[in-house]
Structure 1
Amino acid sequence: MAIVLLSALLLAALALAAYLLTTTRSWQDRSAEWESVSRGLGEQVAQLGADLDGANAELESARSQLTTAQDRITALANEKAQLGDENVASQQYLDYQARISEAAGTVAAALGQCTTAQDELIGYLNNRDAYNPDDLARFATQVDDLCKVATDANTELQQELAQ
C-alpha cells in the first residue's frame, strides 16, 4: 500500500508538475506576446513623439511664415494707400492744371477781344466825323465793359496762380 500511495503521490506530483509546466509555458508565451506588444507600442509612442516634434516644427514655421505674410500684407496695404494718396494728389494737380489752362485760355480770348475792340474803336475815333457820336459813346462803353471783364478775369487768374 505504501507503493500504491507513493505511486499515487508520484502520479499526482507528475500531474502537478505537468500542469505547472504547461501553465508556466503559457505564461511565458503570454509574457512574450505582451512584451512584443509593449515594444510595438513603445515604438509607436516614440514615432508619435517624433511626428509631434515634426508637426510642432512645421507649425512654428507656418506661424513664422504667417507673421511674415501679415507684415508684408500690411506693408503692401500701406504702399497702396500711399500710392492712392499720391494718385489723388496727382489727379487734383491735373484737375488744377486743367482749370488753370482753361481759365488762361478764356482770359487770353477775352483780352484778345478787348484789344481787337479797342483797335476798332481807335479806327472809329480817328474818323469820328463819319459816325454818330452817340453810337461811338455806346461802342466805347461796350469796349470798356469788355476790357473790364477781361481784366477782372486776368486778375482772378493771377490770384489763383499765386496761391
Structure 2
Amino acid sequence: MGQRRIVAGFGLAALAAGAVTVAAPQAFAQELAPGVSCEEFGFECSNDTDDTYRVKSTVGCGGSGVATTWHDVTTYVPPRARVTVSTTCSPRHESGSWEHQPPKLGPDGKYESQPPVWEPGDVVPTRPTGVIHQSAVVDNNPPAPAPSGSFG
C-alpha cells in the first residue's frame, strides 16, 4: 500500500511538472518587415536581410512605486544582425514641498516665526518595464555614431 502512494505521488509530480513546462512563456517574435522581427515582450530585434532597418519602438520606464512613462526610441539593425533596443531610462524627480519651521526663541525672550524651507523631492531611479515595437523600414544611411570621447 505504501508503494502505491509513492508511485501515485511521483505520477502527480510528473504531471504537475509537465503542466508547468506547457504553461511557461515562450519568446514570440513580432515580424515588422519581411526578415525583420523583434521579441514581442522583449528588447531584442533581428534582421535576416541584406539591408539596414530603422526600427521604431516605444519603451516604458518605471519602477517600484513609480508610474510608467513611455518614450519613442529608434534603433538601427544592421544586415544579418541582432541588436538590443536602446532602453536608457532617466530617473524621476518627485515634487518637493515647503516645510514649516518651528518658532525660534529670540534674544528678547519672545518666539519668532521662521520662514518655510523648500525641501526638494527625492530622485527615484527608473528601469525599462516594457516595449512596443511599431515599425521597421529600410534605412541604409543611418546616422554616424556619436563620438566616444576618446582621442585617437
TM-score, normalised to structure 2, is 0.25
TM-score, normalised to structure 1, is 0.23
**Higher helix proportion:** 1
**Per chain length, whose mean CA-contact separation is higher, i.e. which structure has more relative contact order (CA < 8 Å, sep 6+)?**
2
Highest CA radius of gyration, 1 or 2?
Answer: 1
